[in-house]
Each structure stands twice: as C-alpha cells, then as structure tokens.
Amino acid sequence: MHRCLSIVEVQRAIFREVYHQPASKDRLTLARLARTCRAFNGAALDVLWATLESFAILVQCLPRDLWRIDVVEKTLRLRRPMSLKDWEIFYKYSIRVRCVSRVVEPERAKGCTNLGGDVIFALSNSPTYRPLIPFLRELHWDKPNKKYASLLRLLLTPSLEKLTLKASGSQLRSPEVSILTSMCTACPSLRTLCIFSRVPFSQFLDTQGEKILSEAILYLHSLESLVCPALDEAAIVHLSRLPWLTDLSMELRPDFKSNDLTSLASPAFGSIYSLTLTASSLATLTSFLELMQITPSWVSFTVMEAPTADALRLFFLVLVNACSSARLSQISLCVQGQRYALLQPEQITFSTLQSLLALPNIISFELDIPCAILLDDTGLTTLAKHWPILNELSINPKRGWGTSNRITHQGLLNLLSHCPQLGHFSLCVDFSDIDVDTSHLLGSRPGNGVTHDMCVSAGFVTSTIKNPIVIAAFLSDICPRMFSVKDSWGDNPTMSEEDTEDMEIYRRRWEEVEGLVPAFAAVRQQCLEWYRKETTVEDAASM
C-alpha cells in the first residue's frame, strides 16, 4: 500500500468521494471495506456515519437483543436496560456523527415513527456527562415537544452550527418552549437557526414563548441565517448589529410599532442578502422598512390583509428607498388567506408599480394580491424596458386579474422582445385579436417573426380563449422551447359559483393548448431541419 494511503485525511477524502456517488453499491463497498480492512476501518466509519438520516439509527446499531419495533404503535422500544458495553458501542458511532436529519425515518425503521419513552429515558440518563453526539454540527429535529425535550437538550452541543426545529402542525407551548433557553449557553457557535411550522408563526408561539425565544437570540452572536416567529424589539435590534447575518426570515407582531426601534442605527442589517418578512398588514411592513438602509439581493413579503392601491404605492416607494438599487434583483409580495373574491377589489395600475422602475437589475418579480390588475400593453412594455435581464415575471397567478384584461398579444410580444432572458411569466392576456378561426389566419404570422428561445413555461391565469389550436400555434411560434402552459381556472377566487361551467370550459381549452404547444414546436423544428438539408444539397449540386 502506498504511504499516502496511510494518511487519515487522504483516506477520508477518497471515501467521501466514493460515498457521495449516486450508485448505492458504492456505499455498500465502503461498508464492506470498513468491516474487512483494519487500516481503513476508522476513516471508512467516519464517512459512513458522518450524516444520519435519522437519530434512531444510533439505537438500531446497538445489539439486536436490546431494542424492538412495536409494529402496532409504530414505536422503537427497549427489550432490556442499556449496559456499559451498549454505551461503548453507542459512543463508538456517535462520535463520528456530524449531521442528523430527523428523529425517526419510517422507511429505514420498518414504519416506525416514534421513539418509546423507555428509549428516551435511557438515552437521557447516560452513565457519563458527555453529550450524546459530542461533535454534532447540524441537527434537524422534527419532534420539538415535551416528550423529546430532554433528548433534544443533550444534543445541543458547543460544536453545533445549524439547528432546525420543525413542528408538523403543532404548537410549541410551555414547558416545551423552555428548551429554547438552552441554545444561548449550549450552542454559542450556532450560525443557522430555523424554526418551521405548518401553523402560522403567530399561532406557533404564545407570548411567553416569544419572550423566551427573544431572550435566547440575544446570546447568539455568530448567526448567519435565521428563520423564526416574531421577536421583541430588543432581539430585532440585536439582529440588526450582527456582522454576519445574511439571511433573515421572521414575522412582525401585529402590535409592532416602529417607534420602539429608535435605537436602530446605520448600518442596521448591513450584511443582509436575503430578507423575508411576514406581517398582518402592509402598513406594518412599510413602517419597518422605513427604518432600514440595506443591500439585499432577494426580498419576500407576506401579509394577511388585502392592501389598498395607495398602501402598495407607498410600500414600493419605501422599498426602493430602503434597498440598494444596484443589488436588489428579486422581489416577492403575496397575501396569505382571503381566498374569497372581494366585492370591490382595489385596482392596480402601472402607476402603482412605477417606483420599481428605479431598480434596473430585477431578475424576478412576483405579485399575488386580491386586487384587480389594470396593467396594459404600454405599462408592461415600460416594465420590460427597465428590467432587461428579467428572468421571471409573475403577476397574480393565483388571485386572478379581475374582469378587465388590458394586455394583448402585442404586449406579450413586447415583453419577450425586451427581456431576452425571460424563462417564465404568468400574465392574463387578451388574445381576441388573434383568437379567430384558422382560415382567417392563412398567410399571416401573428408573432411577426418574434422568436424567444429562453422562455420554457408560462401561466395565463384566467385568460379566455376560443380556439386552442390557434393559441398553441402562436405560442409555439414565438417560444419554440416552451413545454409548460398553465392556467388558474381550476382555482380562481374571483369567479362565482354560477361561472363554474365556464371555468371548466376554459380549463379544458388551456389543457389542450399545453398538449399542442410542444408538438407544434417539434414539427416546426423538423421542417426547419428538412429545409436546411435540402438547401445544403442544392448548394452542393450547383457547385
């Protein structure tokens, strides 16, 4: 054996390369190598055990007579008490673990979804005071409740850099939330903290829970990424001063008042690259942004209440003033909830969005709010001219545009002409000028020779059409690489129940368009290839 292969770092580098190959047989080879070759055993085990799909694997690596799976209750349980020898085996593998993806992986544990109380109690009372996984760096925990709190506490080690707490529809209440206080002392090097829940953040933590989490945040000075529920003013001020915080996602409390953040000083949140905020109203977001001078590349906002046109206009103006125009490239604003149609929705025109023209480097823009969109060809063309590197444009893909539709096929052509990198768009388009019988289009080309090779998918929201073949021919001509055409007729809150029949008709027509577009594009490409070959043969013959 070559001398370089006796170097542990070299062994690990080779084994990592083998381990991350897509074929599962390479991992089996590495496992066999760990069993049969003494020289490679340690390094091979280090790589094999570095990332665990579930914490339960550490229990299942112990002698088979120690544990069992209760098939009825889908729970991993113990057959007998853990001995010192069992603990030696446990630590033999746990010291190699660097990442745990979840508590229990059902596919790996024969349908088991929980750890029994006896397992949790045994692991929470080890014969030594050492952490269960001493060198753990990344932990994704999907059981943040009282039953697993003691076990989670023993996994919060000084080496931990990334912690994710995920609750599947449950709420975190006292005393479970008290585990959050352990982060500040147990994980001083924590760089990433993510708290996810299927329920809204405002319902995930009660007032006491928000206070405890906010206090814990004050002791974390190395954060680079944070996803969490609402925090108090002191925690927000602390975050604004962190030099490495680049990714922030949080909720603003309904009673948030910008006057309570007077201590924010420039450069507050100066290193933010990605900002995601959720609030009850757009006014709350506006008042928060007014305090900031930041340089993010990506911003995303979610509100619970439908905004007015004036509130939107002010919000976009404040956003432009708060963010660096040279760096901001992706904007998203959506309203969550209120799936019903408003009787008199606010009207959004080009003037509502006009302040965004000061951002020349926009590559993605998403707007989905319960308002009527009155954008016309001129307004869309102006946006396209000011956003030449636009890659994705999505305006009310789920909410619909209302009864008025002012963008025609010519406006769509202008958008494609001025945005050569556009890959996806969602717009409501009036195709009435070209949506006629095919016999009326003989000898004409509605696309006027415009060809856009980058656009591969499109959403036409609640656009009405009569002749799917004509629309498919038009789209395949201007976007020969388009393979996905969607609509929102199946989930349109602006339509009444009386219009259900019409909704189904338009939905089926757009389904037909989606099937025809790639077929037409393929036929065009084939004809073009035939023409090229015939031209080449004729040129060769003439010579």
**Range name among 231-235, 319-323, 519-523, 529-533 with the lowest pLDDT average:** 529-533
| pLDDT computed for residue 137 by the predictor | 96
Whether residue 537 has pLDDT greater than 90: no
List all residues 6 or more positions away from 249 whose beta carbon is below 8 Å from its beta carbon: 226, 227, 228, 274, 275, 276, 277
Which range, 45-54, 106-115, 120-129, has the best average confidence (pLDDT)? 120-129
CA angle, 264 as apex, 307 and 227 as ends, to 5°?
A: 60
Q: How confident is the model at residue 315 (pLDDT cuts 50, 70, 90)?
A: very high
The confidence score (pLDDT) of residue 140 equals 92
For the segment 485-507, the average pLDDT, to the nearest whole number, is: 80
Mean pLDDT of the chain: 86
Question: Which residue's entry shows tokens 């680079």?
Answer: 224
pLDDT value of position 223: 96
In this prediction the pTM is 0.87
Distances in whole angstroms, Cα of residue 265 to Cα of each of 14, 63, 294 = 49, 58, 12
**Bond from prior residue into 175 cis (ω within 30 degrees of 0):** yes
Which tens digits make up the pLDDT trace of 364-374?
Answer: 999 999 999 99
Q: In the prediction, which pLDDT does 331 show?
A: 98
* Band (199; pLDDT cuts 50, 70, 90): low
Instruction: Check pLDDT > 60 for residue 420.
Output: yes
Lowest mean pLDDT among 170-174, 178-182, 311-315, 459-463: 170-174
Report the pLDDT value the prediction gives residue 128, as an integer from 0 to 100.
Answer: 85
Categorize the per-residue pLDDT at 81 as very low, low, confident or very high, splitting at 50, 70 and 90: very high
Position 502 scores a pLDDT of 85
Q: Is the dihedral of CA 148, 151, 157, 160 positive or negative?
A: negative
Q: Which of 158-172, 195-209, 413-427 has the lowest mean pLDDT?
A: 195-209
Task: Tell me the per-residue pLDDT of 261-307, one tens digit each, with 9 for 90 and over.
Answer: 766 777 789 899 999 999 999 999 999 998 888 999 999 999 999 99
Summarize pLDDT for 89-98 with one digit per residue, the tens. Answer: 999 999 999 9
Residue 5: predicted pLDDT: 63
Residue that wins the pLDDT comparison between 291 and 34: 291
What's the burial of 161, exposed, middle or buried (CB within 10 Å: 0-12/13-18/19+)? middle
Average pLDDT over residues 56-71: 92
- Tell me: pLDDT of 74 over 70: yes
Ranges 86-95, 331-340, 454-463: which has the least confidence: 331-340
Pairing of strands 75-78, 67-70: antiparallel
Closest CA relative to residue 78, chosen from 99, 64, 95, 92: 64
Residue 176: pLDDT band by 50, 70, 90 thresholds?
A: low
* Mean pLDDT value across residues 501-526: 91
pLDDT exceeds 70 at position 110 = no
Average pLDDT over residues 374-393: 97
How many angstroms separate the first and last alpha carbons of the chain? 66
Between CA 505 and CA 489 the distance in angstroms is 9
Query: How does residue 59 score in pLDDT terms, banded at 50, 70 and 90?
Result: very high
- Position 103 scores a pLDDT of 85
Q: Which backbone phi and psi does 66 adopt, to 5 degrees?
A: -90, -35
Question: Which residue type occupies 55?
Answer: F
Q: Is the pLDDT of residue 208 over 80?
A: no
Question: What pLDDT, on a 0 to 100 scale, did the predictor assign at position 170?
Answer: 58
Please tell me the least confidently modeled range out of 18-27, 319-328, 355-364, 486-495.
18-27
Task: Report the 10 Å Cβ neighbour count for 310.
Answer: 10
Measured in degrees and rounded to the nearest 5, phi and psi for residue 490 equal: -75, -15
User: Six-digit token pair at 447?
Assistant: 């696309």
Selection from 13-27, 30-44, 98-112, 442-456 with the highest mean pLDDT:
442-456
Burial 244-258, CB ≥16 within 10 A → b, else e: ebbbbbbbbbeebeb
Say how many CA atoms lie within 13 Å of 140 toward its Cβ: 11
pLDDT for the residue 202 = 54
Instruction: Give the per-residue pLDDT at 405.
Output: 81
pLDDT of residue 443: 65
Mean pLDDT for 212-216 is 87
pLDDT bin (cut points 50, 70, 90) of residue 112 is confident
Q: Which residue has the higher pLDDT, 439 or 297?
A: 297
Across 234-382, the runs of DSSP E, i.e. the strands, are: 247-251, 274-279, 298-303, 330-335, 347-348, 364-368, 372-373
- Quick one: fold of 339-346+361-543? 3.80.10
Q: pLDDT exceeding 90 applies to what percent of the chain?
A: 54
